[in-house]
Amino acid sequence: MRRIAPSTILELGCGRGGFGARLARMGTYTAVEPDETSWQAAHEWITPAGGTVVHGDHLKAPDPGTYDMACAFEVLEHLEDDAGALEEWLPLVRPGGHLVLSVPADPERFGPWDEHVGHYRRYSSEQLGERLAKAGAVDITLRHYAWPLGYALDGIRDRLAVRRSSEVAESSVEERTAGSGRVLQPGARLTGLAVKVGITPFTALQSFSPRKGPGLVAVARRPAA
């Protein structure tokens, strides 16, 4: 984010606003969130910081085609038609603007937690790169994250999901997706700061292993012409 230094930011599926609360301090921030419960929480948190949170999906985003950057963190894997979503997301940024995504990595690691929170898939870097290129993106950069701590966290989450397997059987993918956005983000700024401090050593370790980690970040650009 600091390298791209966007003046205008659009977040797609902001959940309760865990990322948005920070992004709103980096530029003119707008977000869309389809789940009403999460939207209300994000609206109350981000509006005082000068941001705007719209209740709806990307089709409700104001001023499409004008943003320096659009971002979606842990959203794409929840969408059945991910290729179609990328084709509609990329035109939301201005020509030459950036699209930034994070998704769970490594399809072979798909497990109980993925089902519990409404994931359709996990991605390899090749798969995500191909989808972005097919959507028309250029200058695609992909990098893994959350090594090595994320592997331990995934194991804990999978065991938790197994204990709650009855919840999966009784709910739809859409309901599980909405629920994940309500509970899996820091609820206060101090919580977010504590997480940041706690992972700092692991962030330094990550630089030595850019192709390892259960998460994947993609940065791509809409062609300038």
In-domain check, residue 62: yes
In-domain check, residue 119: yes
Domain count, the chain: 1
CB atoms within 10 A of CB 59: 10
In-domain check, residue 2: no
In-domain check, residue 156: yes
Provide the residue-wise pLDDT of the chain in tens; the chain has 225 residues.
889 999 999 999 999 998 999 899 999 999 999 999 999 999 999 999 999 999 999 999 999 999 999 999 999 999 999 999 999 999 999 999 999 999 999 999 999 999 999 999 999 999 999 999 999 999 999 999 998 888 888 999 999 889 887 777 678 888 888 878 766 565 556 666 777 777 777 777 777 877 899 999 999 999 998
pTM of the shown model:
0.89
In-domain check, residue 47: yes
Q: Which two tokens stand for residue 107?
A: 């399809």
Q: Which two tokens stand for residue 168?
A: 């999966």
Q: Domain containing 204 — which CATH number?
A: 3.40.50.150
Backbone angles phi, psi at 85, to 5 degrees: -65, -45
Question: How far, in Å, CA of 188 to CA of 185, rounded?
Answer: 9
pLDDT given at position 186? 56
Buried (b) or exposed (e) across 9-40, using 16+ Cβ within 10 A? bbbbbbbbbbbbbbbbeebebbbbbbbeebbe
End-to-end distance of the chain based on CA atoms, in angstroms?
A: 23
In-domain check, residue 83: yes
CB atoms within 10 A of CB 98: 22
In-domain check, residue 75: yes
In-domain check, residue 3: no
Contact (Cβ atoms closer than 8 angstroms) between residue 44 and residue 71: no
67 closest CA partner among 90, 101, 43: 90
| Domain span holding position 205 | 8-221
